Every structure is written in structure tokens, then in C-alpha cells.
Amino acid sequence: MSLLTDQPTSSSPEPDLTSRGVSLRRRLTNHATSVVIALAILAAVIPLGLVVYQVVSRGSGMISLDFLNWDIPRNYRREGAGMGPAVLGTILITGAAALMAIPVGIAGAIYLNEFGKNKPLAKVIRTMADVMTGVPSIVMGLFIYIVWVLTTGKQSGFAGALALACLMLPIVIRSAEEMLKLVPDELRQASAALGSPQWKTILTVVLPSAASGITSGSLLAVARAAGETAPVVVTIGIAFSPNWNLFDGGNTTLAAQIYRNASMAFEPAQERAWGAALTLIAIVMIFTLAARFIASRYAVKER
Amino acid sequence: MTSLDSSPDSSQDRKIIGRGSLGDGVFKATVTSAAALVLVTLGLILVASVYQAWPALKHAGINFVIGDRWVPHEMIFGALPFIFGTAVTSIIALIFAVPIAIGIALFTTEYAPKWLRTPAITVIDLLAAIPSVVFGLVGILVVAPSAFTFYDSIHNAVGSIPLLGTLFGEPTTSGRTFFTAGIILAVMIIPIVTSISREVFSTVPEALKQASYALGSTRWEMIKGSVLPHSFGGLVGASMLGLGRAMGETIAVALVIGGATQITANLFDSGNTMAAVIVQQWGESSGVHTAGLVGIGVVLFGITVTINLLARVVVRRTEARMRGVGA
């Protein structure tokens, strides 16, 4: 005791700047919070691991060339057979949605970044695009049902594509705008100095330099749309065999099949749901990883 | 507006050069109408949905949101049980997700060593990439069946305590309950709350953190004293965005919530939410029943849009204020 109290007085009164100078209670609190915060990451890893493990272990037994090709059995109790129509439907419907949403989204982003900037209209559109991202997907499905299915009188793959396009549009606009922002103004000035009109500058100089970022943002939007279920379930009807026609007859997607089969109490239906889930996750992951690869591989060029 | 620092290819400069005015005009009109499509769509959603839902809304009047009976074939439209279920499941989701998301955001911005930062963010990205219907599938076939024993033991432990006994009452044997739905929702909204929280934390000026360390703070004291107070508004905004997402989530909840139309304080009981009831009853609905479901969609649209707008305003305010301090 005396030794401890003597030391500061005998030597020069320098404060102890090492961690021993901090009281035990403060040090313990610091360590405890570090542990708690590091544990938070586990709370995200565990559900991710659980989902991936379950889907892979229960779904991989189902996956085969036949599963990806054959028709869906009309009777949910029947064993085996495939998800062919759903794979086809997912690709057709998501592809059609991407064809609609991506060009319009990029055009909208060009307006926001190249013409609108801080004009009131651009500010309103920016806010509304954010709001549109928050519109529940089921509401988007109802909307397309009302304006398209009720008008044409039938559910179709195209109606689902329209709903997905509406969901993708604000995501593409906002991510493409962020990418256009990164294009240095010097490029635009250089092009203008050479006498190009603005539309030519944008199409031949600005867009190509932002291309990688825009592509990766669009791929992420496609990945998300491929997994959307609620808007698809209410707009596309149902199909058990492949339907190449987006405008006529019902259709189906992997997501819709997972939903339908998962709510059935029959073992074969549930097995098909697991197989469909693995297929869907594989498709989504391919798009997500492609987006990340493009973004990281070509990111330097954007600076 | 900012005429001095605007790019030199603004319209005045163009006129001096005197080229491409027609092409530019056409181009500008095209991209402007593409952007305006956002406003048109949102407007159309509101008008078309209200028009379609009108028969049910008009018939039920104010009872549509305060009535607790939903019997469409008897023309009784009271959506309160679904509004209640939406609120309960979202609140459960927030209680679990917000602290975890803030923890992850702090971990990746302040704690994690560099080599761990990218993998940690990747995990969150992958979690966000999993389609909601897959969460629903795992929820209904894996989580719900095994949850019953867990719920039952909680019920046995606290069932005799007044308030807790009401909240954690007799569990439904299927395990498809408000609580299961809330947990699944929590996992689903962790990514969005985490990413907004990270953005908010990144706006805290480095000088503030250094100043706090210079005064002798430990890392936690620095976070408590500098990072959290300055991020508070933004974190509230992030949580509200998560709330908006949780309220609108349809398929996962439709699979795991049980589908009962009731208002009960028992979290271990079956219920339903606005989004889930639409997709569950859509197939067998027609006429005014469909109108009623669209009406629920209108209410949901209104609530989520309001929450999202408020959240964006809060987050932007915080970021603007922080950037001002930092500059």
C-alpha cells in the first residue's frame, strides 16, 4: 500500500498513460462491450449458416437434370418430377422485367445527375424513388393486377414482369445515379470542349465510364427481383408445363413454387420446395457474385 | 442555383457553341420522362388502388380500420386484427434486429481488424441476397416445428407471472406464431438496418473520436460519448426503414404466422398481418372480397410510405448536420 502511494510523490508527477492507469471497472466494461459487439456478428452468421445448410442439405438430393427440365406434377402428393416450367418462368419473367426496368432506370438516372441536379423536380423524383423502394412488393403486385390483369382480363407472365419492373426501377435509378456521380467532370468538359453536343457526351463518354458500376447495380436489382414472390403469386396465375408465351396463359416461377409447395403438408411437395429453393438461391447468388466481381474488378476506373 | 460551380456543359455554354440543340432537346425530354415515370407510377398506384378498393372501403367506412371482424362473405370488413398483427410482428422484429444491427455496424466500423472487415460485410450482403420466400421455407419447415418446445418451456417458466404470463401464454402446437414471424422478420431486416447504421457511423468526424481518446476514454467510452450521441437521429431513421421493410414483408410471414384472424396479447398464438392476409386470401377471393384485400393494400401502402418518408428525412438531416460539423 505504502509502496503504491509513495511512488508518485517520490518520482516526478507524471500521469500513468498505460492501460493500467484506467480503473478496473472501466477496463472491464470496455472488454465486456467488445465481446458483446463481436457476438452481434454471430447473430447474423448463425441464421445465414442455418438457412444455407438446410437448403443445401435438403435440396441437393433433388437437383438433377430431370428436376430442372421436367414438368411440375399437378398432384402435390405425387413423388418426384421437376421444376422445369418454374426455371423457365423465372428466367423469362425476370429477363422481361430487366429489359423494361434497366433502360428506363438508367435514363432516369441520367436525368437526375446530368440535367436535374438540384432542381426541385429532381429532388422530388429522388425522394419518390426512395419512397418507391419502400413500397411493399405485395402492393406493387396488387397495383399491376388492377391496371394490367383487370384490363386485359387474364393473368400472364407479362403482368408479373411488369410488377418486378416496377420494383426494380427505383433501385436501378438510385444506384445508376450514384455511379454517374463518380464520373469526373473533367471528362464531360473535355468532351464538350471538343464540340460534342451534350447527348453525345453522355452516351459516348459518361455512360461508358460508369458502365461497370451501373452493370453491377442492375445485376443486384435483377437478383432481388428473381427472388420476389408476393407480386408474382398474385399476377401470373399458375402453370404446370412450360409456357414460352409471356402474354397468354398462366406462368410460374421458382419463388411462386416454393411458396405453394411449402404450405402443403405433403412430403413430396416439400421436397420439391427445397429443390426449388436451392435452384433459386443458386441463380440469385450467381447474379450477386457477378455484380460484386464486376464492381470490384473494374472499380478503379471509376475514380 | 449553383451557377458558379455547375459543369460547363450547362445550357448557356451550349448556346454559345451553338450545336446539338435539337438532339439535346429530344434527349433531355426522353430522360426526363423516364425519371418522371417514378412519379406517374406512385400516383397511379394510389389512384388505382383506392378506386378498386372503394366498394369495400365505402361499405365498411371507419370500421375498416377499427373493426375486429373480417368476414368478407357477410360483407364485414374489419382489418384491425391484421393491423395489430403487423404492428406486433414488426415490433418483435425491431426489438431483436436493432441492437444486433447496431452491434454489427459498430463491429465493422470501429472494432474489426482490417482483414475481418470485408468478410463481415460480405456475410451481411449474403444475408440480404437470400430471397424472402427461402426464409419462409426454412421458417415453416425447420424453425416453427422446433420452436414449440422452446415456447412451451418459456411459457412454463414465466406463465404464472402476471404480465409475462399474458405475453408468453399457451403456445400454438404448430409453432406458427406472432413470435416466430417476428424472429424471421428480425433476420430479414438486419441487413438494411446495418447498412444504414454503417453509413451514419461513417459520418462521425474523426476529430471527435480522436478528441475523446485524447481525454483518456476507452474504446467503449469513446463510442458512448462521441459516436452514439452524434448518430442517434440516423439510427432512429435506420430503425424506421427496417420497420417499413418488416411491415411490408409478405411471403415469409404468410408462411410462418399461422393465419388466424384474432387480436390477442399472447405472442405464442397464431395471427396474421396485412401483407400476409392479402396473399393468403387472394386466390379464393372475388368481387367485394378482392376489393377488401386491395383496401388492406391501400392502408399498408399509406403506412409504409409515411414511415419511409419520415425515416429518409431523419437520416438525411443527421447526415447533413454531421457533414456540417465535420467540414
Task: Give B169-228 pLDDT, tens digit per residue.
Answer: 889 889 999 999 999 999 999 999 999 999 999 888 899 999 999 998 999 999 999 999
Q: Does the beta-carbon distance from B31 to A284 stay under 8 Å? A: no
**What separation, in Å, do the N-terminal and C-terminal C-alpha atoms of chain A show?**
62
Q: Which of A198, A219, A222, A278 to mutate to test the interface with B (most CBs of B within 10 A)?
A: A198
Q: Does the beta-carbon distance from A128 to B278 stay under 8 Å? A: no
Q: Tell me the pLDDT tens digit for each residue of A105-164.
A: 999 999 999 999 899 999 999 999 999 999 999 999 999 999 999 999 889 999 999 999
The more confidently predicted of residues B316 and A226 is: A226
Which chain A residues have a beta carbon less than 8 Å from that of B7? 185, 188-189
CB-nearest to B7 from A47, A128, A189 is A189
- The pLDDT value recorded for residue A1 is 44
Give the phi and the psi of residue B258 in degrees, each rounded to 5: 100, -30
Read off the pLDDT of each residue in B34-50 and give the average, rounded to a whole number.
Answer: 94
Q: Which of A16, A17, A25, A41 to mutate to test the interface with B (most CBs of B within 10 A)?
A: A41
Asked if the model's pLDDT at residue A55 lies above 90, the reply is yes
The crossing angle, in degrees rounded to 10, of helices B21-60 and B287-326 is 130
Strand partners, A80: none
Contacts of A209 (CB under 8 A, 6+ apart): A183, A187, A301, A302
Q: Tell me the pLDDT tens digit for each residue of B92-106.
A: 999 999 999 999 999
> Where does the pLDDT of residue B20 fall: very low under 50, low under 70, confident under 90, or very high at 90 and above?
low
- The pLDDT value recorded for residue B324 is 61
Q: Does the beta-carbon distance from A41 to B248 stay under 8 Å? A: no
CB-nearest to A199 from B20, B103, B104 is B20
Contact B38, A129 (CB under 8 A): yes
Strand partners, B77: B70
- The pLDDT value recorded for residue B52 is 94
> Where does the pLDDT of residue B287 fall: very low under 50, low under 70, confident under 90, or very high at 90 and above?
confident
- The pLDDT value recorded for residue B194 is 96
- The pLDDT value recorded for residue B322 is 66
Chain A nearest-CA residue for B313: A127
Which chain B residues have a beta carbon less than 8 Å from that of A146? 48-49, 51-52, 294
Q: Does the beta-carbon distance from B308 to A130 stay under 8 Å? A: yes
Q: A103 to chain B, minimum CA–CA distance in Å?
A: 9
Q: B244 to chain A, minimum CA–CA distance in Å?
A: 7
**DSSP label of B258:** B
Q: By mean pLDDT, which of A19-33, A268-282, B94-108 is the weakest?
A: A19-33
CB-nearest to B134 from A40, A195, A281 is A281
- The pLDDT value recorded for residue A68 is 87
3-state secondary structure of B271: strand
Q: A227 to chain B, minimum CA–CA distance in Å?
A: 5
Which chain B residues have a beta carbon less than 8 Å from that of A234? 278-279, 282
pTM of the model: 0.89
Report the C-alpha gap between B81 and A54 in whole angstroms: 33
- The pLDDT value recorded for residue B51 is 95
- The pLDDT value recorded for residue B320 is 76
Report the C-alpha gap between A134 and A115 in whole angstroms: 25
* Structural element, H or E, at residue B192: helix B178-202
| Count of alpha carbons within 13 angstroms of residue A44, beta-carbon side | 33
- The pLDDT value recorded for residue A217 is 93
Read off the pLDDT of each residue in A29-33 and give the average, rounded to a whole number.
Answer: 92
